[in-house]
Homo-oligomer: A and B are copies of this chain.
Amino acid sequence: MAGASQSLRLNDPLPLDGGGELVDASIAYETYGALNEDRSNVILLCHALTGDQYVASPHPVTGKPGWWERMVGPGKPIDTDRFHVICANVIGSCMGSTGPASEASDGKPYAMRFPVITIRDMVRGLVALLDELGIGQLHAVVGGSMGGMQALSLAANWPERAARVLVIASTSRHSAQNIAFHELGRQAVMADPRWNGGDYYEGEAPDSGLAVARMAAHITYLSEEALTEKFGRNLQDRDAKSFGFDADFQVESYLRYQGSGFTRRFDANSYLYITRAMDYFDLADEHGGKLADAFAGTDARFCLVSFDSDWLYPTSESRHVVRALNAAGAAVSFVELSAPHGHDSFLLDVPALDRVVEGFLT
């Protein structure tokens, strides 16, 4: 389907958790489905780390289908015949919203002069967009992975803005292991001499480092079982080991492909800033140390979904959120789905997820 591509420059500076503010920020977004008269049919979709606003329309760089075509469209679980779906590129990213590759007031790219942002800052940008669009309460805010963090942050910090909060394969805080993998990725980018302290926009980008970072991330997105089932020890286009350093194994070939493909569409500095925001995410810490306090007095209905093979944000993290919501007296449903794909399950063919999403949004 075709989405409506728009971009909006925020009138007011965006205050940031780190102090200071982001001036003249732009938010690029796609919409799908018609807005009804009383603007009560809006679903805000929040994208993941390397996601973007092209939920159900072709990616302008790669030409590939939108990342959630299977979920969003006419008659689909997020039904654009009923709902007006908005998905905005988060600030800090590189698909049209203001980020490190954007021009600062001196006409040059921010690069590492871009302020370090948080998940809440991203959501502040989304709320500012809703304000500008005159949208009050959302029918729902929906997100998987980092999108789920944004949904939780919106529910905690702007509790009146969403009637329903759907959080898939996500967490309320980054664990030490989560931080470790992100730090590994950042160090890979920064180890690439072409990164050059972030000033590479007029030369070659640190594609080698960014590809390594992406490879590391991809390992965490798939379960051990999924990797074994998908690749095992199968060789790539050969009958025997080459006794060399080519990609003998299919899994090596897959990772190299994922790494090099990613650099075509993503900015290395954005990768640094967004992973940093995720590592900083700790919703309890933002609310005095007790997660239940983050949701005190919320009237929203929550739905949490985890996947049994997800070792990046395992079911225990969703349960942790559910317990806090229970303690806060919130209406919450929770389901752990069985799916073999690991964290990536939220993007893949899991019919049970479709039913949960459709049911919750009705």
* Chain A residues within CB distance 8 Å of chain B: 17-19, 112, 115-116, 173-177, 179-181, 183-184, 186-188, 190-193, 208-209, 211-212, 215-216, 219, 224, 227-228, 230-233, 241, 243-245, 247, 249, 251-252, 255-256, 259, 272, 276, 279-280, 282, 285, 311
- What B residues does A256 contact at CB under 8 A? 183, 187
**Contact yes or no, A219 B177, CB < 8 A:** yes
- What B residues does A241 contact at CB under 8 A? 18, 280
**Contact yes or no, B259 A187, CB < 8 A:** yes
Q: List the 8 shortest-distance A-B pairs measured between CB atoms, nearest first.
A: A18-B243, A191-B208, A176-B227, A116-B243, A183-B252, A176-B231, A176-B251, A177-B224
A115-B243, A179-B252, A191-B212 are known; give 18 further A-B pairs, CB within 8 A. Answer: A18-B243, A112-B245, A116-B245, A174-B233, A176-B228, A176-B230, A177-B224, A179-B249, A180-B215, A180-B255, A181-B219, A183-B256, A184-B255, A187-B211, A187-B212, A187-B215, A191-B192, A224-B311
- What B residues does A224 contact at CB under 8 A? 175-177, 311
**Contact yes or no, B227 A175, CB < 8 A:** yes
**Contact yes or no, A177 B227, CB < 8 A:** yes
**Contact yes or no, A212 B230, CB < 8 A:** no
Please give the distance in Å from A207's CB to the nearest CB on chain B.
9
Q: A188: which of B193, B212, B285 is its contact (CB, 8 Å)?
A: B212
- What B residues does A279 contact at CB under 8 A? 249
Alpha-carbon gap, A37 to B201, bound state (A): 71
Alpha-carbon gap, A19 to B177, bound state (A): 41
Alpha-carbon gap, A41 to B73, bound state (A): 73
Q: Which residue of B lies closest to A176 (CB)?
A: B227
Please give the distance in Å from A20's CB to the nearest CB on chain B.
9
**Contact yes or no, A184 B243, CB < 8 A:** no
Please give the distance in Å from A359's CB to the nearest CB on chain B.
32
Output the residue of A177, A279, A282 with the most chain B CB within 10 A: A177
**Contact yes or no, B228 A177, CB < 8 A:** yes
**Contact yes or no, B245 A184, CB < 8 A:** no
- What B residues does A174 contact at CB under 8 A? 233
Output the residue of A115, A190, A209 with the most chain B CB within 10 A: A209
